Structure 1
Amino acid sequence: MDQQAIQNLVENTSLEFFNKPFRHKAFFNTRLRTTGGRYMLASHNIELNIHYLHEHGRDELIGIIKHELCHYHLHIEGKGFKHRDRDFRELIKEVSAPRFCTPLPSQEVKKRPVRKRHVYQCSICEQRFVRKVRMNLTKYVCGKCKGPLRYLGEAK
């Protein structure tokens, strides 16, 4: 999809769902990573993430366009255009635009492996200590009573 095609798509979507013209520029921004699109307050332009078109298709992109057009039209009219504003939430429901876009499979955050936790207990006062790193029991004693520590094992 080239620049003119995306401009036409945004203009047609604006007329179809909002019955209002879109008079500014819409374009793809290849540097967007964490968002589907962005409405620029100063210039009234709309930037779209091209990766959503490639990975989720045209329907998802139209949903993002409708979301950004909600920001656009409400801001132009001087109404509440932020996500938390009532005007925005009502318009989102009216045009059935998504409130948030689906995450990109290529950008999903890889989860870190769960680190082991080592549990120690004082032999005298029975105070428990949980540590990320295993300790040398010959060097360390209980911080509460100075008693010797013993290793209980791993906890999750």
Structure 2
Amino acid sequence: MTHEQLEYYANKFLMDKFNMPLGIPIRISKRMTSKLGAFRIKYIKGNRQKIDMEIIISYNFIVHNTEQFILDVLYHECVHYALFTKGQPYKDSDPEFKETLKRLGISQTRTHQFKGRRHLYECKKCRYQFSRNMKGYEKRYVCRKCRGRFSYLGEVK
């Protein structure tokens, strides 16, 4: 799915369901690996005056998933944007947000399983193996079982 298609579907969804146009950019991020999508608000430090908003969708998620799942995540982020713009509760934990998702037939956060690149790691000390969505895990973390360092074993499907 292309950037233009994402903007088209988001604009159509917002006009149909909230009677408002898409007034923020949509960005496809190759760096986003732990989330499928996000509605981001950037504030000036100190005075909480918003200066920038955007919807971000993971490139890996777009490449490895069907259009149905991609649109569900996109619409979820659009609901965050619409409710924030209208001054209503817009966070995942807010009951009003959950009710809006349910009314529109959109999935809640962490409903979809990540499909895409996964990286395999092993503890050098106790040989514990696991996979993560992110590369570079071995540089930042230690094993919780034995406090050993990890080694990167490669990409898994």
Q: Flag whether TM exceeds 0.5 (same fold).
A: yes
Find the counterpart in structure 2 of residue 87 from structure 1.
Answer: 96
Higher relative contact order (CA 8 A, sep 6+): 2
Find the counterpart in structure 1 of residue 116 from structure 2.
Answer: 106
SS in 1 for 2:30: coil
Moved more, 41-50 or 10-19: 10-19
Moved more, 62-71 or 94-103: 94-103
Find the counterpart in structure 2 of residue 33 from structure 1.
Answer: 33
User: Structure 2 length as normaliser, TM-score?
Assistant: 0.63
**What CA deviation, in whole Å up to 9, does each residue of 1:5-46 have, x standing for no partner?**
322222122223433321111121111101110101232210
- Which structure 2 segments of 5+ residues have no match? 43-51, 127-144, 147-157
What is the rounded CA distance, in whole Å, between the counterparts of 1:92 and 1:44 in structure 2? 21
Counting only pairs closer than 5 Å after superposition, residues 38-117 of structure 1 correspond to structure 2 as 38-42=38-42, 43-99=52-108, 100-107=110-117
Q: Cα RMSD between the aligned structures?
A: 2.6
Equivalent residue letter for 1:11: N
Query: Which structure has the highest strand share of the two?
Result: 2
1:110–1:88 distance in 2 versus 1, CA, 3 Å: farther
SS in 1 for 2:93: coil
Counting only pairs closer than 5 Å after superposition, residues 129-140 of structure 1 correspond to structure 2 as none
User: Structure 1 length as normaliser, TM-score?
Assistant: 0.63
Equivalent residue letter for 1:84: S
What is the rounded CA distance, in whole Å, between the counterparts of 2:112 and 2:82 in structure 1? 23
- Contact 2:60–2:117 (CA under 8 A) maintained in structure 1: no
What is the rounded CA distance, in whole Å, between the counterparts of 1:62 and 1:3 in structure 2? 12
What is the rounded CA distance, in whole Å, between the counterparts of 1:112 and 1:16 in structure 2? 49
Equivalent residue letter for 1:86: P
**Percentage of identical aligned residues:** 16
